[in-house]
Amino acid sequence: MKVSIIGAGNVGAACAQRLAEAGVGEIVLVDIIPALAQGKALDILESAPLVGFSGKLIGTSTYQETASSDLVIITSGASRKPGMDRLDLLRLNKSITTEVAGKVAEFSPNAIIIMVTNPVEAMTYLAQGITGWERERVIGLSGLLDGARFSAFVAQELGTSPSEVKTWVLGEHGEGMVVLSRLTTVSGRPLEEMLPPERISQLIERTRNGGAEIVELLKSASASVAPSAAVFRMAESILYDKKEVMTASFYLKGEYGIKDSILSVPLKLGRKGVEGVIELDLNSAEKDALVKAAAKVNQTLTSI
């Protein structure tokens, strides 16, 4: 198995470390900043005797070493800063993603892409268009990360283990996020039996602004630990053909009654990429929220 990670910033380097420690055989870390990827790769490699992994890990500033990758994780681009909105990021990252997707298609035409660069729906759409690949091979990070944030906040509120919280987060990775609190359980019990509606709404709003909250705290950086963990879970299911169901951004062709938009929905991820879309039984309010999320995302897509 060969994985290439484009972008050696905090998220990219953390992804490389998680994958190396999981035993992925060959990892290539790429960044256009001279020596950055090489330095990050060397730092991770020097932890191998302590952690116990033995795969190949290299850093580079060119794409030749990425040739014939099975999976490519794209994290390159500007990160969000205080005061920036998602359209600001779109303007900054459009040209970067265009170039990166073209290089990925050239050197690894049979790969699967996990898009991390924000705004993720727009960048996933752009990457699919640039590569010309079928939709099953271009997937964006979103709902899995948002669900983890919501689960963490619920667990903190109730004083329980985060692993006991099961939830689904659909829609946009942003204001159009659709947190399915009705289907959220804690140790098998419905969340709506454990917290009052107003408190659940507050936790949903915090989740919706989860990335911005971290940006405001860090000032000069954005979230990296939780995003890298979510990317790792997606990559693991793909590389090892685990066929786990997790929410991620995907181009819809009628699923959930939505056509020609990219939204986070439950996907079965395996060696072929997306191997199925799981359609949850939504109520009318949830369906309406998802349709509104699609309309909001489509406004962004028209800016590409």
For 226-273, what is each residue's pLDDT tens digit? 999 999 999 999 999 999 999 999 999 999 999 999 999 999 999 999
Options 137, 149, 173, 233, the catalytic residue: 173
Amino acid residing at 251: Y
Predicted confidence at residue 29, as pLDDT, reads: 98
Structure tokens at 67: 């040739």
Distance CA 238, CA 273 (A): 6
Amino acid residing at 266: P
Predicted confidence at residue 263, as pLDDT, reads: 98
Predicted confidence at residue 220, as pLDDT, reads: 85
Predicted confidence at residue 82, as pLDDT, reads: 72
Would you tell me how many other CB atoms lie within 10 Å of the CB of residue 109? 12
Residues of the chain with pLDDT under 70: 80, 86
Distance CA 164, CA 208 (A): 21
Distance CA 115, CA 127 (A): 8
Predicted confidence at residue 178, as pLDDT, reads: 98
Enumerate residues 6+ apart whose C-beta is below 8 A from 269.
139, 234, 237, 238, 242, 243, 244, 245, 246, 248, 275
pLDDT above 70 as % of the chain? 99
Separation in Å, CA 80 to CA 58, 142, 144, 266, 292: 27, 15, 19, 26, 24
| Residue 173 known to be catalytic | yes
Predicted confidence at residue 88, as pLDDT, reads: 81
Which of 68, 193, 80, 171 lies closest to 121, judged by CA?
A: 171
Are 123 and 93 in contact by the 8 Å Cβ rule? The answer is yes
Predicted confidence at residue 235, as pLDDT, reads: 98
**What are the chain's domains?**
2-140 (3.40.50.720), 143-301 (3.90.110.10)
Predicted confidence at residue 79, as pLDDT, reads: 76
pTM: 0.96
pLDDT in tens, 88-108: 888 889 999 999 999 999 999
Predicted confidence at residue 89, as pLDDT, reads: 82
